[in-house]
Structure 1
Amino acid sequence: MGIWGSHLYSTQPEKLDELIQNSLKPYGECQKQIDDSVDAICAALEETRQIPNVICVAKGGSYGRNTVLRGNSDGTIVVFVSGLERFQDQKKSHDEIVSKIQQWLEACQFTMRLAARMQVQELHGRLTLQLFTKWQSLTFEVLPAYNALGVSEKPSPQTYRDLKRALDMTRAVPGEFSVCFTELQQRFFHNRPRKLKDLILLVKYWYQQCQAKLNGCPPLPVYALELLTVYAWEQGCGAENFDIVEGIRTVLGLIKQQEQLCVYWIVNYNFENEMVRNILLSQLRSSRPVILDPVDPTHNVSKNKACWELLQREAHTWLSSLSPSESPGPSWNVLPAPLYATPGHLLDKFIKDFLQPDRRFLDQIATAVDVICKFLQKNCFPHSATRVQKTVKGGSTGKGTALKTGSDADLVVFPDSLKSYTSQKTERCNIIKEIRKQLEACQQKEKFEVKFEISKWKTPRVLSFSLKSRVLNERVDFDVLPAFNALGQLTSGSTPSPKVYAELIDLYKSSDAMEGEFSTCFTELQCKFVASRPTKLKDLIRLVKHWYKQCERKLKHKGSLPPKYALELLTIYAWEQGSGAENFDTAEGFRTVLELVTKYQQLCVFWTVNYNFEDETVRNFLLTQIQRTRPVILDPAEPTGDVGGGDRWCWHLLAKEATEWLSSFCFKDGTGYPVRSWKVPTVQTPGSYGVGIHPIVNEVFSFRSRRTLNANARRNF
């Protein structure tokens, strides 16, 4: 690796920003001299008559992308000539035009008054122009090109059809004509934040040190690593200001997963045109890694297996130096292949590879939670007669729908001192204080295979802790919640007494209690409702939650999205009504859920597994609930919790995202044709679960549903 590589690996993580500013970015004065010289050369090229038909000149390479490293770097000067009327003309006329440009440059290099020294060289048909300052040099390749864009801002599908034909006719190497899209490459990087370009500099500097170990193996285009860094930032961060260490850990982590990398953008091309779609499908089916040039779908810039294997080893080495402790250190949650790019027939593999938590980690979590629960039951409230009746694990971990990274869970503690719903509300703060003391004692006394960290954010209403893997980038965040034991000791297969719900409804109607405020009392029922479902349905829920998290990151500043639990319930409803089979097509199920999201203004979903229409109090309340503003999605564990929420959340934002996603690769089969969805009604009727319902209830529901739908239609109109 040499002294520079060793120096990089020994740099303390907190010093990386300083390294970039002091050692990697070009000196300001040198950069200005280069910029002034390039501008002068480009302006002269556009004005000269010695090279016929010059339309315009574009700047590309690292220079055009504004990712120039201090010392030596690269760029391209692309001369668009009107005499080149097709891609293939560029190949035929290349030598002739290059010769004219060379003659002009050689004639001008002594007459142009440039801020930087210029040197022109031609070797094997490759024309280069070098600019030198005291501390900086740039080598530009000068390239004639067909003006594929014309006066358009973006290429049309016809442009890419012509590109594919030209490649076939001339047997050119894929990417050979991507120079025609230099302006698009420049725009792709232009609006990226300065700090992202700093991260790119760090990645490129690391790659420079790795190249010494290639032993004659052709190097990987540095452009591939630039694009990978942009992808990591887009998928995992998106902020203008971020932690450079988290960013570099993320990029190195993706390089370690190079066998699964599949990265592309649809900013300049997409799946709408048949020929472009076929090009994309062919590329995305090819062996990994795949990193497509965002301006040229024929160009996979990442093809170099031997180089990737070296980078994989070196990435592991640097990651170890960045995280010397057992913990892998924080990084962004970025998958090597985006969901949007995954074809429908590979969704099951996507879930298995990227969304399912590590089985050993789940076992470690379960063991740690058992120890914590037993400790709390035995040691809580040592100075009073209060005892913990039971503890229940809820949230995604308790339901069996946890994601690989960043899952949440609830640990619900039921002290016998809470005798009612209202006592839960008034005594919660004191109980949380006591539980915090005991959790801290448990943290000191017990030994865990996972890292046990209690939140330092001390508030009387919230108590949180995290369990982290010591070797994997996986964690589960727990909220500890005291609750009134409304259900008592439920036997297996039994349902709560209607009296439990009648009391809750009376309290809800007569006080300022918020809807769903006491749902923690029914955590067992929530978990049982989901956990008993087939494994594949729980995997579909994981997929929907992963999609939701992507939407959440994109839309977080635009409005409050509905809770994840609403999407979990909607997924279960879609499966119950549309499939019901243990084995089903995941793409069909996923499409069905997103289509239901787009129809949110019609949704009315509920279950009668724990409460129903038999008790008069519950029946009247349910009839009121299901005529509320849509969407209505009632918590199957407790009826005051409408997680659909009507106008409470910004379903319209989620529906817009769902509409866009319905055209994604996820909903195309292996041949590129759309997958179908299940037939699922948007409105649930009281009798559709096979429960004995008095006819008057169905009649009232039918009338009220029609009235609600008509009111929604008028409001939307």
Structure 2
Amino acid sequence: MGIRESHLYEKPSEKLEEFIQNHLRPSEDCQKDIDQSVDTICEVLQEPCPSLTVTGVAKGGSYGRRTVLRGNSDGILVVFFGDLEQFQDQEKRQYELLSKIWAQMKHCESRWKLAAKMELQNTNRSSRVTIQLSTKQQSITFNVLPAFNALGLSEKSSLWTYRELKRSLDMVKARPGEFSVCFTELQEKFFSNYPSKLKDLILLVKHWFQKCQEKLINPSLLPPYALELLTVYAWEQGCGAEDFDMAEGVRTVLRLIEKQEQLCVYWTVNYNFGDETVRNILLSQLQAPRPVILDPTDPTNNVSMDNTCWLQLKHEAQNWLRSLRQNESPGPSWNVLPASLYITPGHLLDKFVKDFLQPNQTFQDQIKKALKIICSFLEENCFRHSTTKIQVIQGGSTVKGTALKTGSDASLVVFANSLKSYTSPKNERYNIIKEIHEQLEACRQEKDFEVKFEISKWKPPWVLSFTLKSKVLNESVDFDVLPAFNALGELKSGSTPSPRTYTELIHLYKPSDVFLEGEFSVCFTKLQRNFVRSLPLKLKDLIRLLKHWYKGCEKKLKQKGSLPPKYALELLTIYAWEKGSGAQDFDMAEGFRTVLELVIQYQHLCVFWTVNYSFDDEILRNFLLGQIRRTRPVILDPADPTGDVGGGHRWCWHLLAKEATEWLSSLCFKDKSGCPIQPWNVPKKRVQTPGSCGAGIYSMVNEMHLLRSHRFLD
């Protein structure tokens, strides 16, 4: 590979786009001439003819998908015959129909007036007909194939189509994917929905593939279609924007090729798990040895079958990504997993968490060191010339031990002695934010860090954030800096807050004002942190798994409504474990299913803890009784009784419940033998003791007994 073209992923995105324009994308004039010629050929093939009953011609291959590379490329012209009544007919009559196509084309050849030069080829006694169209700078070779029109007059596939496909494959003992050409129109439509810049990224990946093939002793049989689909998957899962960084995109695809032993890619845009026949096809395919890349139009067609080729490509991808100096990252890429959670069998969920969700321990240690430096610097240097003193507390998933490998969030809560109450003036908070911003800049410049320390651009005056990024890994943590009133004072470790801490907060609370619910929960960050930090490590992994599932739901459902906060799902997971297992070691799939079952039954949920507040104090008791009578779901923050993260009708729990219901049929809830994995038995109505949590509907009939005995009927 020449110096000019090597290591394209290192080049700035704008240079890559210039390279694609100048070297990879066909010129507009050449494309126009070939398009006109193809249209003419298609018209001729559909002309009335006694020997042909053509109902349509579909354009496929790189040409039909609009992923043609400059120079030499490929295409397919699929000729649909009306007298082919089922899939297997096209196999039986292939030679006969190709002979007719050849005769028709030769008969009309002399009167064709094409903008591109055409060369017809008929090889192996009519077993293959090809058309080569050439212009000055471009050549495309089309295979002409007869096919059964599986879609008929419809633009979409039907369940009958795929049932019939499976029956036909079994009947003639054809290889999976044998009839995928029948779905060429769907392939063309699938790619037409994606932005032009994504197709430019596909050209870049195909160019890389071509250069790899030139170096291989035995060129691979892997179809470029497999890499095209892998590129689409990388963009969908990691970016989804019409405008993106081209270098990040190609790095992402190379990193997926590196992980080819785990690669399993599929779509459910034309078929899904709803029908039993299709579901069985899919489950069989998705449990096959990796890599698996399923044609989005034909569930029987795994386009990535050549394992030898993938091993060679993995070696090339590693060479590209690791050719930089030691301890230097090749640059950022999108966060894309090589396989989805949905198709991960239950017994492999622990491995899924370890491989894909747990943050790198070295990076976590670097984060701890960096935060120690930052917090000490802020406490020592902020407001040095005034009476204001601050204390910095770490909060969020990173310090609780439930952070995901990418996209983790955390907080630095700044308690300042100038904030005397929950409702301290907002301008006081502004002054604190301004001072911390200045000191963060000073800290970044004066101290040495093992991670990249990036402070956000100046935002509205009440918000300040920064990011700590690994210099080698594709991992980072975003931090919000939050000034707050120190409601807990100097609370000793293991102690519970004074009831007065909460009664002051309750006096501010108005049930009609949903914006006040949990508004001051940041004041109780230490309690939130301690509540989760003391839990078993495996439970934290289960929380990671649910957070990953939630992120997928969020991405899918964000246009349909506001989902409940992630913290609600985290607390629900803890409750499920407390009431259903309680063991240090447990079955991850059972825990996962239990939480989804609770989400589905959200209309009956009333979850609360009495580890930091209880019914002993009269004001708290009356307030809590009011809280747990509210519209379900109710999930009270164990650190802040005013924070109902269940929210009743406030959030769209029904969307999350619908998604959870669909997930119950996933491979996550099948054991090695394919049998369903059952959830834990989490009670919905039982007597609770103080210090525990409750769920279900509070019974007013038993209220007096509850208050006298300090036992809580849920």
After TM superposition, the score normalised by the length of structure 1 is 0.90
**Inter-partner Cα distance in structure 2 for 1:215 and 1:359:** 40
User: Following the alignment from structure 1 to structure 2, what is the Cα–Cα distance between the partners of residues 133 and 631?
Assistant: 66
Report how far residue 56 of structure 1 moved. 2.2
Superposed displacement of residue 10, structure 1 = 7.2
Query: For 1:6, what is the secondary structure of its paired residue?
Result: coil
Equivalent-residue separation in structure 2 for 1:546 and 1:262 (angstroms): 17
Given the superposition, is the C-alpha separation of residues 439 and 318 from structure 1 closer, same or farther in structure 2, using an over 3 Å criterion? same
Is 1:329 the counterpart of 2:331? The answer is: yes
Say whether the 8 Å CA contact 1:323–1:329 is kept in structure 2. no
Q: For residue 202 of structure 1, what is the aligned residue in structure 2? A: 204
Matches within 5 A, 1:21-420: 21-49=21-49, 51-124=51-124, 125-168=127-170, 170-319=172-321, 326-388=328-390, 390-420=391-421
The 8 Å contact of residues 84 and 90 in structure 1, kept in 2 or not, is answered as yes
AA at the equivalent of 1:23: H
For the structure 1 residues 127 and 134, does the alpha-carbon distance in structure 2 shift closer, same or farther, using more than 3 Å as the test? same
Which of the residues 604, 609, 612 maps onto 2:611?
A: 609
| Contact 1:419-1:484 at 8 Å conserved across structures | yes
Contact 2:469 2:475 in 1 (8 A): yes
Mapped to 2, the partners of 1:685 and 1:641 lie a distance apart of: 23
1:268 alignment partner, SS class: coil
The 8 Å contact of residues 606 and 684 in structure 1, kept in 2 or not, is answered as no
Q: State how 1:569-608 maps to structure 2 within 5 Å.
A: 569-608=571-610
Equivalent residue letter for 1:61 = G
Deviations 1:610-659 (A, max 9, x none): 10111001011111212223322111001111112223333333333333
Deviations 1:246-297 (A, max 9, x none): 3222222212222211001122333344443333223222221111111222
Q: Deviations over 1:374-399 (max 9, x none)?
A: 222333321123333x4321101121
| Residue range with higher mean Cα deviation, 593-602 or 133-142 | 593-602
Q: CA contact under 8 A between 2:344 and 2:668: conserved in structure 1?
A: yes
Give 1:304 shift. 2.3
Partner of 1:708: none
- 1:443 maps to 444
One-letter code of the match for 1:485? Answer: N
Change (3 A) 1:702 1:678: farther
Report the alpha carbon displacement of residue 567 of structure 1 after superposing the two structures with TM.
1.2
- 1:429-468 deviations in whole A, cap 9, x for unaligned? 2122222222222222221211111222244312211111
Determine helix, strand or coil for the equivalent of 1:522.
Answer: helix
- How far is the alpha carbon of 1:475 from its aligned partner? 0.4
| Counterpart check, 1:539 vs 2:541 | yes
Cα contact 1:605–1:684 (8 A) shared by 2: no
Instruction: Call closer, same or farther: CA 1:279–1:326 in 2, change over 3 Å.
Output: same
Contact 1:51 1:101 in 2 (8 A): no
Pair 218,328 (structure 1): closer, same or farther in 2 beyond 3 Å:
closer
AA partner of residue 497 (structure 1): S
The equivalent position to 1:655 in structure 2, one of 654, 657, 663, is 657
Identity %: 68
Give the distance between the partners of 1:660 and 1:510, measured in 2 at CA.
35
Q: 1:55·1:80 contact (CA, 8 Å) conserved in 2?
A: yes
- CA distance in 2: counterparts of 1:608 and 1:133, whole angstroms: 78
User: Does structure 2 retain, via aligned residues, the 8 Å contact 1:64–1:186?
Assistant: yes
CA distance in 1, matches of 2:205, 2:404: 29
Report the CA distance between 1:159 and its aligned residue. 4.0
- 1:493-513 CA deviation, whole Å, 9 max, x = no partner? 321111211122123359988
Structure 2 letter corresponding to 1:34: I
Look up the SS of the partner of 1:14 in the other structure. Answer: helix
Q: Distance in 1 between matches of 2:562 and 2:165?
A: 44
Deviation at 1:317, TM superposition (A): 4.7
Given that 1:578 and 1:678 are in contact with CA atoms closer than 8 Å, whether structure 2 keeps it comes out as yes
Output the amino acid matched with 1:42: C
* CA distance in 1 between partners of 2:649 and 2:367 (Å): 38
Q: Is the 8 A contact 2:610 2:690 kept in 1?
A: no
Q: For residue 488 of structure 1, what is the amino acid of its counterpart?
A: G
1:328/1:473 contact within 8 Å kept: no
Cα distance in 1 between the residues matched to 2:107 and 2:511? 92
Distance of 1:520 and 1:658 partners within structure 2: 30
Can you list the C-alpha shifts for 1:66-92, whole angstroms capped at 9, x where unaligned? 212222211111112244344333333
Aligned counterparts of 1:275 and 1:656: Cα–Cα separation in 2 = 23
Cα distance change, pair 483–107 in 1 and its aligned pair in 2 (3 A): same
1: CA distance, partners of 2:449 / 2:578? 40
SS of the equivalent of 2:46 reads: helix
**Structure 2 match to 1:427:** 428
Could you say what secondary structure the match of 1:47 adopts? Answer: coil
Counterpart CA distance in 2 for 1:344 and 1:269 is: 23
Paired amino acid for 2:210 = Q
Rate the CA distance shift 1:507–1:83 in 2: closer, same or farther, 3 A. closer
Q: 1:690 to 1:137 in 2, by over 3 A?
A: closer
Q: CA separation in 1, counterparts of 2:108 and 2:642? A: 81
Distance in 2 of aligned mates of 1:562 and 1:180: 44
- Cα offset for 1:486? 2.0
> Residues 529 and 698 (structure 1 numbering): CA distance in 2 closer, same or farther, change over 3 Å?
farther
How far off its partner does 1:50 sit? 5.1
Secondary structure of 2:486's counterpart equals: coil
Q: CA RMSD in A?
A: 3.0
2:711 aligns with none
Who is 2:709 aligned against?
Answer: none
Residues 397-418 of structure 1 deviation map (CA, whole Å, 9 limit, x = unaligned): 1211100001011112223333
The answer to which of 594-603 and 192-201 deviates more is: 594-603
Q: 1:130-189: per-residue Cα shift (whole Å, max 9, x none)?
A: 112222221100111223333454444554454445445545443222112212212221
- The answer as to whether partners of 1:256 and 1:315 remain within 8 angstroms in 2 is yes
Task: Give the letter aligned to residue 243 of structure 2.
Answer: N
* Partner AA of 1:476 in structure 2: V
Partner of 1:16: 16
**Structure 1 residues 161 and 559: CA distance shift in structure 2, 3 A:** closer
Residue correspondence of structure 1 range 613-632 to structure 2 within 5 A: 613-632=615-634
Which consecutive residues of structure 1, in runs of 5 or more, have no partner in the other structure?
704-717
**Partner letter of residue 702 of structure 2?**
E
Cα separation, 2, equivalents of 1:406 and 1:146: 47
Secondary structure of the structure 2 residue equivalent to 1:487: coil
Q: 1:526: how far off?
A: 0.5
Residue 421 of structure 1 aligns to a residue whose secondary structure is coil
Which amino acid is 1:408 matched to? D
User: Is structure 2 residue 503 aligned with structure 1 residue 473?
Assistant: no
Conserved 8 A contact 2:637-2:645: yes
SS at match of 1:134: coil
Q: CA deviation at 1:321?
A: 8.1
Name the TM-score, length of structure 2 as normaliser: 0.91
- One-letter code of the match for 2:506? I
The residue that corresponds to 1:706 in the other structure is none
Aligned length: 701
* 515 and 476 in structure 1: CA distance in 2 versus 1, 3 angstrom threshold: same
How far apart are the structure 2 equivalents of 1:338 and 1:314?
Answer: 25
Q: SS state of the match for residue 645, structure 1?
A: coil
Q: Distance in 2 between matches of 1:661 and 1:34?
A: 46
1:31 and 1:702, CA in 2 relative to 1: closer, same or farther beyond 3 A? farther
8 Å contact kept, 1:623–1:701:
no
Relative to structure 1, the CA distance from residue 680 to residue 148 in structure 2 (aligned partners, 3 Å threshold; closer, same or farther) is same
Question: What residue identity is the alignment partner of 2:44?
Answer: A
CA contact (8 A) 1:328 1:472 kept: no
What corresponds to 1:551 in structure 2?
A: 553
User: Counterparts of 2:183 and 2:325 in 1: how far apart (Å)?
Assistant: 40
